[in-house]
Structure 1
Amino acid sequence: MDRTTTIILLSFVSLLFGALATALFIYVIVPWRRRRRAAKEAAANPPSFQTESPPEQPETASSAKRDSSLKQHSLFVIFDQPSEQSDERLTEWLREKGARYDPIKKIFLIAGQQPANPITITNAFPPGEMPDLLYGEKHAPIKGISLLVKPPLHKRRNQQMYVYVELAKEMQTHFSGTMLNAEREPTTDDTFERIIG
């Protein structure tokens, strides 16, 4: 191999590594910064939960369009009396469901029927971060939790939504508290039917 070919080959390899480094930066750092910015905004604007439901409004085409483009379903269970006992019950419930803790995102994941789209359990106050209950991490009593799941792209892959609704109903009966939907209104059977589709 002559000198010119070697120089061209090395230039091409360095360009390839540069493109790879740029792609890695975009894939890892940019979403991390967005999550950090969103967490700061969420901390600055804590959610206000309503206990009374507002007057019912007829469903319009815009709300139907919003449901079809929904990025994730959210349900909140707000504990009436947060304490060490409610934390212990939550820990046992997570163990029963085979939940695993993600130490990077500080959330619990339940595989359900579709492990590629797990059900996420997070802390509702402050939103997002859960202590590792399975290993006894010290923390203040948890006041409430959020259950999150992404809706399926195709209706025939709806099994995870059934698991999600069953988990939510089980939490509602297992833990004394109020269950709210994404709009911070009390859940009803209609809420669960909309989630299942």
Structure 2
Amino acid sequence: MAGNSQRRGAMRKTGTKKGAVVGSGGQRRKGLQGKGPTPKASERTGHPAARRAKAADKAKAKTSARRPKDAKDVLLGRNPVVEALRAGVPASALYVQQFVDTDDRVREAVQIAADKGMPLLEVPRTELDRMSGGGVHQGLLLTVPPYDYVEPADLLDTPGRTQPLIVALDGVTDPRNLGAIVRSVAAFGGSGVVIPERRSAGV
């Protein structure tokens, strides 16, 4: 009878090219099988944690490519250099500009460096400009070991904080001002302070 092949339970001739009318051939059962444990948030494509992790990896790779392992940080300016020397910050050398106009801060920096047996180098202004990356050095530059900073993305994952308080700074070159800001952020329960790599006071 015409159309009987469409009825449930109807038989089809051997050799037909059409597939089974009834049943899924086990495909539905396969679709119900588990796909394994849920991946971590940082491993899921499109998840905010995954985007932060990817950004952190890129930033670390960029920093590593720009700075060699034996690189040193520098402190610029008369007040920052004198304050660091007074505080006993470990430093490797003091650079003084040739023919610089001396004042009490320059003399004190040179005296402290000499008392500590620290290398004291007198260099042209062009050399200080190069070492400071164009920053305002006022004729004094102090080389210190690099501080172990973290990436901004790491501050977003502060344990126990769904909305971490992060303060971003720009153009703060006086370490005393930076210290006051850091203490204020800590007093308010902040997660961290973001500072530029150049033209900024360092920790």
Could you tell me the TM-score, scaled by structure 2's length? 0.24
Structure number having the greater helix percentage: 1
**Higher Cα Rg: structure 1 or 2?**
2
Q: Which has the higher contact order (CA 8 A, sep 6+)?
A: 1
Could you tell me the TM-score, scaled by structure 1's length? 0.25
